[in-house]
């Protein structure tokens, strides 16, 4: 149980385009979803936290107009990287947890984004 | 402030050797959670264990064992009789008890390579 799926796994696109990454909880209701960014050989950095039906809460230094997060249902959150540039190339990982503050986060497979 | 230190950046062991991954944490909270995650080359984060600060009992799960020492703020992870499939990056993480797993502070990870 507690499976989180991310799509796509890998995307390569031209500079200036927008890219949407989906995060789905397959067998549980994800009241809270998290988006992380991981640079090569580095740790995960939390970008934002989103609760279903509410606006996302962004961490300091993360541009909310650049990284649009939508959590419209209990099983789906999306991250859209708008007008992507090479410096946005990274590994993006989502996680989800169900209701209850002490429920663990379950992570998706991650999306490798490469901007040319 | 929360801080997690994994001093070992990379470790290589020969198959069947035992290996211990160190994790030292800092927190002002009196109650908190500690986690270990595994990130294989495919990228997904696999949840291994969550331990709350109330419980200092060591835990064993198959070839995995965890040693929680509150006095030294350490939560070390030992793999017994390592296998090639154990090769991955392992992350230690910390969250405060009140928010549960909402705010995960990750260490920088330890890359384990098990040589056949």
Contact A104 B43 (CB under 8 A): no
pLDDT at B39: 93
Residue B37 touches chain A, beta carbons under 8 Å? yes
Shortest Cα–Cα distance, A49 to chain B (Å)? 8
Stretch B21-33: mean pLDDT, rounded? 92
Whole-angstrom distance, CA of residue B4 vs CA of residue B10: 16
pLDDT at A105: 85
Shortest Cα–Cα distance, A109 to chain B (Å)? 4
For A11-63, how does the pLDDT look when each residue is reduced to its tens digit (9 = 90+)?
Answer: 999 999 999 999 999 988 988 899 999 988 888 999 999 988 888 999 999 99
Whole-angstrom distance, CA of residue A65 vs CA of residue A73: 21
Contact A49 B102 (CB under 8 A): yes
Which of the four pLDDT bands, split at 50, 70 and 90, describes residue A1? low
Start-to-end CA distance of chain B, whole Å, equals 41
For A64-116, how does the pLDDT look when each residue is reduced to its tens digit (9 = 90+)?
Answer: 999 999 998 999 999 999 999 999 999 999 999 887 666 778 899 899 999 99
- Tell which residue, A66, A61, A64, has the closest CA to residue A83: A66
pLDDT at A102: 67
Whole-angstrom distance, CA of residue B26 vs CA of residue B23: 10
Whole-angstrom distance, CA of residue B34 vs CA of residue B51: 5
* C-alpha B57, offset from chain centre: 15
Q: Cβ(B58)–Cβ(B65) under 8 Å?
A: yes
Contact B99 A101 (CB under 8 A): yes
pLDDT at B101: 58
Cis status of the peptide bond prior to A8, with omega within 30 of 0? yes
Residue B90 touches chain A, beta carbons under 8 Å? no
Instruction: Tell me whether strands B105-106 and B88-96 are parallel, antiparallel or unpaired.
Output: antiparallel
In this complex, the residue of B33, B45, B108 whose CB is nearest that of residue A107 is B45
Mean pLDDT of chain B: 91
For B67-115, how does the pLDDT look when each residue is reduced to its tens digit (9 = 90+)?
Answer: 999 999 999 999 999 999 999 999 999 987 766 556 788 999 999 999 9
pLDDT at B4: 94
pLDDT at A42: 85
Contact B101 A97 (CB under 8 A): yes
């Amino acid at each position: 149980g507690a499976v989180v799926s991310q799509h796509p796994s890998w995307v390569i696109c031209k500079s200036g385009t927008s890219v949407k990454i989906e995060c789905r909880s397959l067998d549980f209701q994800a009241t809270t979803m998290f988006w992380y960014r991981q640079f090569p050989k580095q740790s995960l950095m939390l970008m934002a936290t989103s609760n279903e039906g509410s606006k996302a809460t962004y961490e300091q230094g993360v541009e909310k107009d650049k990284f649009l997060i939508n959590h419209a249902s209990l099983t789906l959150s999306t991250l859209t990287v708008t007008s992507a540039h090479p410096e946005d190339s990274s590994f993006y990982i989502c996680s989800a947890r169900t209701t209850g503050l002490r429920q663990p986060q379950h992570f998706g497979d991650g999306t490798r984004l490469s901007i040319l | 402030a929360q801080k997690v230190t994994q001093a070992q950046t990379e470790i290589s062991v020969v198959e069947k050797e035992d290996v211990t991954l160190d994790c030292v944490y800092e927190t002002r909270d009196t109650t908190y959670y500690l986690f270990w995650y595994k990130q294989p080359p495919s990228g997904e984060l696999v949840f291994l264990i969550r331990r709350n600060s109330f419980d200092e009992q060591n835990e064993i799960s198959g070839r995995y064992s965890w040693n929680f020492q509150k006095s030294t703020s350490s939560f070390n992870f030992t793999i017994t009789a390592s296998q090639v499939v154990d090769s991955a990056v392992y992350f230690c993480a910390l969250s405060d008890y009140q928010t549960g797993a909402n705010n995960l502070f990750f260490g920088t990870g330890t890359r384990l390579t098990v040589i056949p």
